[in-house]
């Protein structure tokens, strides 16, 4: 596990623009679908230019008492202002925001990863408690 600590960077998303922010409803009911919004740059905007951008956000869920997580989904962001005229010459830029809809019968931990093309992999976690 120590190697993963070197690969996946962690920080508080309120002071570091690369950390994925996981937003959940206050109450999540067992077996009912709910939204999970994951974004990068909520407090401090990420540049999202041709030279410096978020490539993807990936979300996993580790149910309580289970050994392995489930992949919930992955969102890729492919437009970063580049065009045939060069970097940052397009008017199309994607924002690193993804909405996942899921349901679960168990509480557990959501684990999000984001990849910055310059600053590598970042991770964050959020607990799911069911009512």
Q: Is 52 a catalytic residue?
A: yes
Residue tagged active-site, from 42, 58, 80, 116: 116
Query: Is 18 a catalytic site residue?
Result: yes
Active-site position among 17, 42, 53, 80: 17
Which residue of the set 95, 106, 119, 126 is catalytic?
119
Sheet containing 70-76, strands listed edge to edge, beginning at the edge strand earlier in sequence: 8-9, 120-128, 108-116, 54-63, 70-76
Q: Which of 16, 95, 106, 126 is catalytic?
A: 16
| Catalytic-residue membership of 116 | yes
- Residue pair 128/27 in contact (Cβ under 8 Å)? The answer is no
Alpha helices (runs of H) in 8-77, residue ranges in sequence order: none
Nearest to 121 by CA among 33, 8, 3: 8
Instruction: Tell me whether residue 17 is one of the annotated catalytic residues.
Output: yes
10, 52, 74, 129: the active-site residue? 52
Q: Which residue has the tokens 């925001």?
A: 97
Active site residue 10: no
Told to judge if 80 belongs to the known catalytic residues of this protein, a careful annotator would answer: no
Task: Choose the catalytic residue: 6, 18, 74, 106.
Answer: 18
**Residues recognised as catalytic:** 16-18, 46, 52, 116, 119
């Amino acid at each position: 596990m120590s190697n993963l600590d070197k690969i996946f960077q962690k920080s508080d998303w309120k002071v570091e623009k690369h950390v994925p922010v996981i937003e959940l409803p206050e109450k999540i009911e067992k077996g009912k679908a709910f939204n999970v919004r994951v974004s990068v740059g909520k407090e401090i905007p990420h540049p999202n230019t041709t030279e410096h951008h978020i490539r993807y956000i990936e979300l996993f869920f580790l149910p309580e008492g289970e050994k392995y997580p489930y992949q919930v989904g992955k969102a890729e962001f492919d437009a970063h202002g580049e065009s045939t005229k060069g970097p940052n010459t397009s008017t199309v830029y994607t924002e690193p925001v993804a909405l996942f809809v899921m349901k679960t019968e168990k509480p557990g931990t959501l684990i999000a990863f984001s990849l910055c093309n310059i600053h590598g992999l970042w991770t964050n976690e959020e607990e799911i408690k069911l009512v």
